[in-house]
Structure 1
Amino acid sequence: MKRFFKSVSVSAAIVLFTLLFSSYAITFKEQYYKLYHVHYQQYPDDVMENIYWLERAVAADFANPQFALTHIKDKKDWEKYRYLFMMHVNLKLIEQHMRLGRTWDKKIAYFYDAPWKEEYLRDLETAERCYRAGLYYWTEAKIWAEKANQSKFKFLYLTGIQNWEDESYRIDRGELNYEKILNRELARLQKVKESFIAMDENTY
């Protein structure tokens, strides 16, 4: 655990150095989003860094439409682009919180884990907080997807961000439902917690 927080501190220092001494100011949503990246092997500090960039992307302003992540030809394109962007970033925040939660998620409570019962329970609480944060971002993603799926956009497709369009379509159809996934993980986690709580000096 100490090693984890040390590595996060190092990452935070690197981020601060980059912001202070980079050749240009990072100001807009699109710039922060471009700093998000998925490693082949994603360690907790990588996930924390991604969450930081994505949350900054949520809070920042949009760049001028000419610097959007797809071609924008008119105000209607621009409006739908903004809705899709916000939906997509919130979906990525869910994915990152799920990855982070799995770091502390003990899938099964084996009888021989009893000597470390309290440590595992603390880890499970951390995993639970990550999954519940994912539920918050799912609520946000659904709001933006609903805006992107308004009838006035029925025949408008931004082909440069087709994967975002696909995400919006799948949410609208109920094919993509992180609430169901996260609640399933939380229910399973609760059972693991209960198994640990039931352990006593006779368990092992």
Structure 2
Amino acid sequence: MVNFLRYCCTSCVICCTFWIFWQAEAKTISQTVGSTVILNCGNTSVKNFIMATWTMNGNHLFSFSKRGKKNATDKSVHLNLKTSESQSQMFALIIEDAQKSHEGNYTCEMTADSGVSAEQWELIITEANNSIEALKIPVIAGVPSVCFLLLVTVLVILTVRKKRARNRSPTAIRQQKQVEDIYENHLEIHRQQGCHHHP
């Protein structure tokens, strides 16, 4: 049982840690149907730039080479996706008239001599009167709270079980028996003294 509780405690810590870092890495964007969405591809002034790529749910959309060459896939054409021609928003992905089919996880990956960097977004498209966004805030706030409460509960249970196990140890049982023996001996002495006073 103690091993099971330790496993629960460890799982809880891992869950909370994963949740915190997942929230920090992926940016969630919620837009209504018909709106325009612009996703900027990180730092556009990367020195020694080699290549940039856009993917959606792991499917390749666009790639840009150092020589200014741009490649678009059939998927990007089908979804009517564009990229910015502006130098200030170089490599930005533009979704005009966003629809439910545009929902998904987008990644922009930039390769330079210094290494590879990536940015991620989770795009959610909602109806104008949809209450999903209103529900999302309590859920995001609630998950860490539930993790914390679960962790505290497991720690309390482990502490109580440890105390009980300590009380059941052979040393504790011997000490309790000694106390009982002393108490019984004291009663016996008291009874015998009572007999001497009353012949």
TM-score, normalising length: structure 2: 0.31
Q: Which has the higher contact order (CA 8 A, sep 6+)?
A: 2
Query: Greater CA radius of gyration, 1 or 2?
Result: 2
The structure with the largest strand share of the pair is 2
